[in-house]
Each structure stands twice: as C-alpha cells, then as structure tokens.
C-alpha cells in the first residue's frame, strides 16, 4: 500500500490534495481510533488500506485522490511510524 513506487506515482496528487484535505470534511472518531490501534500494532499497510477505502466510500472521491490523502494523513499524524515502515520496505527490497 505505501511502498516507494506507490508514493512516487501519487506525488502530483499529494501536492494538489493538501489544500483540499483542509476542507470541512473530518474523519469520524471511530475511524481515528481504529487507525491509531492499527498503527500501534505496526499494521501500517492495513491502516492505509482501511483509510483509503474510507475516503473512497464515505467522501466519494477517486482512488488516486484517496491514495494521496492517505499519504498526507500518515505524513501528518504518524510521521515516525511511516518513516520506520518505509525503511523496512527499502530493506526488504
């Protein structure tokens, strides 16, 4: 879900989407708690899949924009965990 190729392809969407993400839309509390639990258990990939599905289904946006939102969300709220996960992916490759 969050491998380096995935992030590179969606770089252009991330830049455009950052301002859009600051709109009035909010992630509900249950989703936030679920994401925090998954990240605490080091289930970063699963948290990304869940969050992307939430964006697509609840916010009615395209998958490309949702993928950019996922990246921005993890960069903003879980930067340490995202960096650790990305290092793990690079070592595994």
pLDDT digits (tens, 9 = 90+) for 12-64: 555 555 555 555 689 999 999 999 999 999 999 999 999 999 999 999 999 99
Q: Which residues are within 8 A (CB) of 21 and not within 5 positions of it... i.e. 6 or more apart?
A: 69, 72, 73
Cβ–Cβ under 8 Å, residues 82 and 35? no
Can you tell me the mean pLDDT for 68-84? 96
Cβ–Cβ under 8 Å, residues 75 and 82? yes
pLDDT of residue 20: 52
Is 0.85 topped by the overall pTM? Answer: no
């Amino acid at each position: 879900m969050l491998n380096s190729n995935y992030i590179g392809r969606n770089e252009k969407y991330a830049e455009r989407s950052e301002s859009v993400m600051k709109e009035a839309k909010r992630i509900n509390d249950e989703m936030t708690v679920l994401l925090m639990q998954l990240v605490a258990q080091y289930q970063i990939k699963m948290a990304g899949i869940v969050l992307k599905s939430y964006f697509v289904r609840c916010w009615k946006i395209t998958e490309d924009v949702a993928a950019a939102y996922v990246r921005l969300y993890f960069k903003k709220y879980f930067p340490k965990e995202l960096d650790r996960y990305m290092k793990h992916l690079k070592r595994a490759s």
